[in-house]
Amino acid sequence: HGEIKAVTTGEAKEGYALETFGGTFALSRKALVNDDLGAFGRWSEMMGRAAAETEAAQLLALLTQASGAGPVMGEDGERVFHADHGNLAAAGAAPDESTLTAARKALRTMRGLDGKTPISATPRYILCGPELETTVERLLTAIQPATSGDVNPFAGKLSLLVEPRITGTAWWVFADPAVTPVLEYAYLSSAPSPQLASRDGWEVLGREFRVVLDFGAGATD
């Protein structure tokens, strides 16, 4: 008779905290006077780059915890990459058509918190270190096939991300973070970037520089 049934929604809680990173350095008056190339005038650019590298290192540290299993999730007490989650390869084989097919299938068949509803995790990125960069590039390169059997099914489907901090042959496949995010990062609301400051020395002729970054990262799903 047109009744609308009540439904429930799955819920999981994850959390992380901000940390404060900072550093100072000083330059003597002599160093500033003799800086013909203006290198020290670019200190804000250098500190911005250093902050970006710090953020990348924090995110990678999360991803590679426990030999690549990732952080423990509050949802079930298991790490992000676990056999129970269906997102961990049984054997750590190098990327090829077979292993990449298995990874893509694992993402496509992911289910939501109810264990039933597909979440439509479309593979978008493959992440690896320099060790596998050439291997993955070959795997993703489009070719001009002579027969249908020679078609590269991955050409144009995945984007390669190379992280120099990754050593060895570990690799990951991720969906679009705008749709199904795994890692999340945050800044202090009033300071969404490195905070730079400088002052002239009084007792010592020179200039002091300081940079502070409030940044946090965690796994959300």
- Judged against a pLDDT cut of 60, whether residue 142 lies above it is answered with no
- Residue in the structure block whose two tokens are 């000083």: 26
H or E, element range at 67 = helix 65-68
Short-list 185, 183, 187, 186, CA closest to 220: 183
Q: Which residues contact 63 (CB under 8 A, 6 or more apart)?
A: 70, 172, 183
Q: What is the pLDDT of residues 110-139, one digit of tens each?
A: 888 888 888 888 899 999 999 999 999 888
Q: What is the pLDDT of residues 160-186, one digit of tens each?
A: 999 999 988 889 999 998 888 889 999
Place 2 in a pLDDT band, splitting at 50, 70 and 90: confident
Q: What is the pLDDT of residues 46-60, one digit of tens each?
A: 888 999 999 999 999
Instruction: Dihedral sign for Cα 54, 56, 62, 65, please.
Output: negative
Span of 21-35, 81-95, 131-145, 203-217 with lowest mean pLDDT: 131-145
Mean pLDDT to the nearest integer, 31-43: 77
Amino acid 148: pLDDT: 46
The whole model's pTM is what? Answer: 0.79
Amino acid 144: pLDDT: 52
3-state secondary structure of 39: helix
Q: Are strands 206-219 and 183-187 parallel, antiparallel or unpaired?
A: antiparallel
Give CA–CA dist 162/185, Å, rounded: 19
Amino acid 25: pLDDT: 84
Instruction: Dihedral sign for Cα 102, 59, 66, 70, please.
Output: negative
CB neighbours of residue 34 within 10 Å: 8
The rounded Cα 174 to chain-centroid distance in angstroms is 10
Q: What is the pLDDT of residues 54-112, one digit of tens each?
A: 999 999 999 999 888 899 988 888 999 998 888 888 777 888 888 888 888 999 888 88
Mean pLDDT to the nearest integer, 16-32: 87
Amino acid 147: pLDDT: 53
